[in-house]
């Protein structure tokens, strides 16, 4: 159940205004809410893309998450995820770059 407090306790037990206060020393997997065995995977090859795949513990399935200048930075294998053509009303496409 969600707490009515708008702050969360981060990895260092300090309250912050962020939804999630990541520990930059930990690798995270981003899983499907419908099936926790499925996770976000960076597709290797000529055109980098994201896909949902079975979790195998590979480097392209684990991410470091940082907060820099008030924004989340999610990266893996030297690629950072970003929103292409970001639009505040309807989001955008998330791609590794």
21-56 pLDDT, tens digit per residue, is 888 889 999 999 899 999 998 887 656 678 889 999
Radius of gyration of the chain (CA): 15
> Would you state the structure tokens that stand for residue 7, as one six-digit string?
């702050």
> Would you state the structure tokens that stand for residue 11, as one six-digit string?
């990895």
Fold held by 8-96: Trefoil (Acidic Fibroblast Growth Factor, subunit A) (2.80.10)
Map out the domains of the chain as residue ranges: 8-96
pTM: 0.67
- Asked whether the CA dihedral 71, 76, 80, 84 is positive or negative, the reply is negative
Tell me the sheet residues that pair with 15.
9
Question: What is the predicted pLDDT for the residue at 7?
Answer: 40
């Amino acid at each position: 159940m969600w707490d009515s407090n708008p702050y969360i306790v981060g990895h260092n037990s300090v309250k912050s205004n962020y939804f999630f206060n990541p520990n930059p020393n930990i690798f995270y997997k981003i899983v499907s809410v419908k099936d926790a065995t499925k996770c976000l995977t960076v597709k290797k090859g000529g055109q980098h893309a994201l896909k949902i795949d079975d979790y195998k513990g590979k480097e392209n399935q684990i991410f470091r998450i940082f907060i820099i200048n008030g924004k989340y930075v999610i990266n893996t294998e030297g690629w950072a995820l970003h929103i292409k053509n970001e639009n505040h009303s309807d989001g955008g496409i998330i791609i590794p770059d």
